[in-house]
Amino acid sequence: MTSTFSPVTLRATAGPGQPEPTSQLDELYRGFEQELLVPLWTEIGDLMPASPSPAAQPHVWRWQNLLHLAQRSGELVPVGRGGERRAIALANPGLGGAPYATPTLWAAIQYLNPSEDAPVHRHTQHAFRFVVDGEGVWTVVNGDPVAMRRGDFLLTPGWNFHGHHNQADTPMTWLDGLDIPFVHQTGSAFFELGPDVVSDHSTPDRSRSERLWAHPGLRPVAQADPTPSSPIAAYRWEHTDAALADQLALESEGHPGVVEPGHAAIRFSNPTTGGDVMPTIRAEMHRLRADTTTATRREVGSSVWQVFDGTGTVRVGDREWEITRGDLIAVPSWQPLTLTTTSGLDLFRFSDTPIFERLNADRVQVEGTPA
Ligand code: GTQ
Ligand code: FE2
């Protein structure tokens, strides 16, 4: 669905270094078609560009529009077995209508009405939730109920059973991020159903996972082995916010720590390795002071950003948008990105960078410095 190739119709057109079209050449090309063959010489420009030229496009989805459609889905579409989740995915305009925000990343708004249960299942796809607004849902991961509140970043690494339940008297929405497109396109998906309702409807303030793992710089001695995904089920906003505020305060006091002037950022990390939270997904939170513009930066791999607070302007490639709370931005591979704000801006970001780092195919270029 996302292929940029039209059904095989090879053309005997004369390009640079190509023979003049003749009936014999045409016959050769019909022979290729018949045998389902494609010669490199007609495709090389697209297949092997000098630098990444992804099919995915820069795009912004407006949270207010997503919210409205999610609310209507909440009225019209039940959540339960079969569909599994009332989740509505961003479809990048360059990817042929597939529910892919980028070639590797799924981003969706999920909506749960009061008293609803999203049934239990597990899959090899890695997942997280990020909450831009609201509370009242607990996601139950391997039997451990995890509260969801504004600013929290929550993990559901691959093959963990999980369901969600809304204990509030108001609906709740959040952002889901998964590696569904990567897993789909590489034929590596497995899926299993669990119970139709979550096993534990209790509403603890902190999950068991956090009580064991989420103390700063402290890990349980009995848990010595590294795990490919982080054992921390929830990274709470109070910690994220404090880390960003402290970075900017240190900058004001003349100490290092920020990415660049006026730009603080933290990466959510796996305490057992120090690396990314999950094998395919990197997640970060960024804070720009008022009246800050970032350096223009591009990198191999794609990302999705969500505005958490404040307003600003985002430039991706040759597109530019004003952005406000909840808005989502798709940044394709190697597209230059610049953020500007006059009011101050908090943004959540996730990317597929760990895949490229593992393959030694990662590259970053910051404006004014060599790649
Ligand atoms: O909440 O379990 O957006 O399995 C897509 C697939 C959410 C989930 C999505 C899922 C989920
Ligand atoms: Fe799921």
DSSP assignment of 255-311 equals ---SSBTTEEEEE-B-TTTSSBSSSS-EEEEEEE-TTEEPPPEEESS-EEEEEEEE-
> Is the confidence at residue 158, as pLDDT, over 50?
yes
Q: How far is the CA of 159 from the centre of ligand 1 (A)?
A: 12
108, 90 contact by CB (below 8 A): yes
Of all helices (H) and strands (E), which one includes residue 44? Answer: helix 44-47
pLDDT digits (tens, 9 = 90+) for 44-68: 888 999 999 999 999 999 999 999 9
Strand partners, 309: 346
Q: How far, CA to CA in Å, does 163 sit from each of 63, 168, 252, 255, 347?
A: 24, 16, 44, 44, 27
Q: Does residue 173 line the site of ligand 1, with CB under 6 A? A: no
* Average pLDDT of the residues in 360-371: 89
286: amino acid identity, one letter = H
Q: Which of 81, 84, 190 to mutate to test the pocket of ligand 1 (most atoms within 8 A of CB)?
A: 84
Q: Does residue 101 line the site of ligand 1, with CB under 6 A? A: no
Q: What is the DSSP letter of 19?
A: P
pLDDT at 1: 40
Q: Which of 178, 180, 183, 281 to mutate to test the pocket of ligand 1 (most atoms within 8 A of CB)?
A: 178
Q: Does residue 179 line the site of ligand 1, with CB under 6 A? A: no
Q: Does residue 105 line the site of ligand 1, with CB under 6 A? A: no
Q: Is 366 exposed, middle or buried (CB count within 10 Å of its CB: 0-12, 13-18, 19+)?
A: middle
* Average pLDDT of the residues in 127-149: 98
Confidence of residue 16 (pLDDT cuts 50, 70, 90): confident
pLDDT at 13: 67
For the ranges 14-18, 107-111, 265-269, which has the lowest average pLDDT? 14-18
> Is the confidence at residue 196, as pLDDT, over 70?
yes
* Average pLDDT of the residues in 91-95: 98
Of the listed ligands, the closest to the CA of 158 is: 2
pLDDT at 9: 63
Which CATH number is correct for 59-213, 3.40.50.12280, 3.40.50.10860, 2.60.120.10, 1.20.1440.230?
2.60.120.10
Distance CA 71, CA 51 (A): 41
Q: By C-alpha distance, which of 146, 127, 143 is closest to 279?
A: 127
- Structural domain boundaries in the chain: 7-47, 59-213, 235-366
Q: How far is the CA of 122 from the centre of ligand 2 (A)?
A: 6
Q: Which of 66, 77, 79, 85 to mutate to test the pocket of ligand 1 (most atoms within 8 A of CB)?
A: 85
For the ranges 11-15, 231-235, 258-262, 300-304, which has the lowest average pLDDT? 11-15
Q: Does residue 87 line the site of ligand 1, with CB under 6 A? A: yes
Q: Which two tokens stand for residue 67?
A: 């919210």
Q: How far is the CA of 123 from the centre of ligand 2 (A)?
A: 6
Residue nearest to atom 11 of ligand 1 (CA): 85
Q: Which two tokens stand for residue 72?
A: 């209507």
Fold match, 59-213 / 235-366 = yes
pLDDT at 15: 75
> Is the confidence at residue 264, as pLDDT, over 60?
yes
Q: How far is the CA of 88 from the centre of ligand 1 (A)?
A: 10
Q: Does residue 110 line the site of ligand 1, with CB under 6 A? A: yes
* Average pLDDT of the residues in 328-347: 98
pLDDT digits (tens, 9 = 90+) for 277-287: 999 999 999 99
Q: What is the DSSP letter of 215?
A: B
Domain 235-366, CATH 3.40.640.10 — does that match? no
Q: Does residue 189 line the site of ligand 1, with CB under 6 A? A: no
* Average pLDDT of the residues in 91-106: 98
The atom number, within ligand 1, closest to the CA of 123 reads 4
Confidence of residue 6 (pLDDT cuts 50, 70, 90): low
* Average pLDDT of the residues in 147-163: 98
Taking the CA of residue 252 as centre, how many other CA atoms within 13 Å lie in the half-sphere pointing to its CB? 7
107, 331 contact by CB (below 8 A): no
The atom number, within ligand 1, closest to the CA of 163 reads 2
Residue nearest to atom 8 of ligand 1 (CA): 85
Confidence of residue 7 (pLDDT cuts 50, 70, 90): very low
Q: Is 198 helix (H, G, I), strand (E, B) or coil?
A: coil
Distance CA 192, CA 161 (A): 9
Q: How far is the CA of 76 from the centre of ligand 2 (A)?
A: 21
Q: Does residue 284 line the site of ligand 1, with CB under 6 A? A: no
Question: Could you identify the residue written with the tokens 């590294």?
Answer: 226
Of all helices (H) and strands (E), which one includes residue 192? Answer: strand 191-193
DSSP per-residue letters across 314-357: EEETTEEEEE-TT-EEEE-TT--EEEEESS-EEEEEEE-HHHHH
Q: How many helices (H) and strands (E) does the chain have?
A: 7, 23
* Average pLDDT of the residues in 31-44: 95
63: amino acid identity, one letter = W
Share of the chain above pLDDT 70, in %: 96
